[in-house]
Amino acid sequence: MTTETAAAASFATAQPCPDLTREEALTIYRDMVLGRRFEDKCAEMYYRGKMFGFVHLYNGQEAVSSGVIKAMKTQHDWFCSTYRDHVHALSAGVPAREVMSELFGKETGCSKGRGGSMHLFSKEHHLLGGYAFIGEGIPVALGAAFTSRYKRDALGDSSSNAVTAAFFGDGTCNIGQFYECLNMAQLWKLPILFVVENNKWAIGMAHERATSDTEIWRKAAGFGMHGEEVDGMDVLAVRDAAQRAVARARAGEGPTLLECMTYRFRGHSLADPDELRDPEEKAFWAERDPIKGFQATMHSRGLLSAEEMEAIDKEIDAEVREAVEFALAAPEPDASELTRYIWAED
């Protein structure tokens, strides 16, 4: 077991949030299961030759998406993703059939079939996009946070208190855009959460081999910013940290660098045979499955019964099957509209 893996084990003693309601538990559980089952179905469709291009799955990291986004206000706050964006889109409220349609390149997709797996976008659901190149989305998220602050301070809109969450991986924290945006966000006290999904691997590069300081959250101190490390396999721990960060942002106290220690259960993409990672490491993290952990917590606290969770699982399976059927039957984008959505329309 690596030093980082052993350190992560200490998170297991973290206590869940005491204020969680049954309704919130249902919302979070449903969201996590939808993310997992959706990604499993994507893998099936890809290996059956029904889905093409690069497809990067989120399995194992569901606690981060659900914990952060469900602590925010969908259709009020803003979200910016990466090329591993399917589950962020689902958590933000984009219907499963629209996300699946996009993966099939259909007109009914949330990006009208133009974006595919790595470029999901939905103005309606305040999803600012997935981005194929690492770090691309951070300046976009920064712009959204600046807009929120500008509307309030310069234009006098007292209701402008939207917060933006920018999701990215540990490998992204080694590039210039990350540091430049942290500096500007803290300088202007922008309402933004920089959410690092530290899954220990940047494609095939182990995290501890790629950076001089493996504790990413500590890099916030160089900008006078609040930084925090959290167990990214515990959805309630992530939710609690996100709620604190959002409250600070809405109060005008500025950004937060939130490092979520998580792990992806599959290879970098569905084209990756995943031969570089130690089987012992993968087995260790599989034992910390965020969905199983949440199931145990909810059952022990009497918020959700095993029967209720099983019923939700079946409902989600039906929803995902319907999304595939809808996407397969949906029309292809019309060739006459090839140049549409390139320029702004009147």
For the chain, report the end-to-end CA distance as a whole number of angstroms: 58
Residue 2 lies in a domain: no
Q: What whole-number distance in Å separates Cα of residue 239 and Cα of residue 70?
A: 8
| pLDDT given at position 6 | 44
pLDDT digits (tens, 9 = 90+) for 277-315: 999 999 999 999 999 999 999 999 999 999 999 999 999
Q: What whole-number distance in Å separates Cα of residue 62 and Cα of residue 87?
A: 7
Residue 117 lies in a domain: yes
Q: What whole-number distance in Å separates Cα of residue 302 and Cα of residue 299?
A: 5
Is residue 107 a contact partner of residue 330, using CB atoms and an 8 Å limit?
yes
Compute CA distances 43 → 38, 39, 55, 87, 140, whole Å. Answer: 9, 6, 8, 14, 29
Residue 161 lies in a domain: yes
Residue spans of beta strands (DSSP E) within 174-243: 192-198, 201-202, 205-206, 226-231
CATH number of the domain that residue 46 is part of: 3.40.50.970
Judged against a pLDDT cut of 50, whether residue 12 lies above it is answered with no
Residue 275 lies in a domain: yes
Residues 6+ apart with CB under 8 A from 159: none
Of all residues in the chain, the percent with pLDDT exceeding 90 is 90
Number of domains in the chain: 1
User: How many CB atoms are closer than 10 A to CB 12?
Assistant: 11
Residue 324 lies in a domain: yes
Residues 6+ apart with CB under 8 A from 329: none
| pLDDT given at position 149 | 97
Judged against a pLDDT cut of 60, whether residue 43 lies above it is answered with yes
Residue 162 lies in a domain: yes
pLDDT digits (tens, 9 = 90+) for 190-212: 999 999 999 999 999 999 999 99
Residue 288 lies in a domain: yes
Residue 125 lies in a domain: yes
What residue numbers bound the domain in which 239 lies?
A: 22-329
Q: How far is CA 312 from the centre of its chain?
A: 21
Over range 128-141, report the average pLDDT.
96
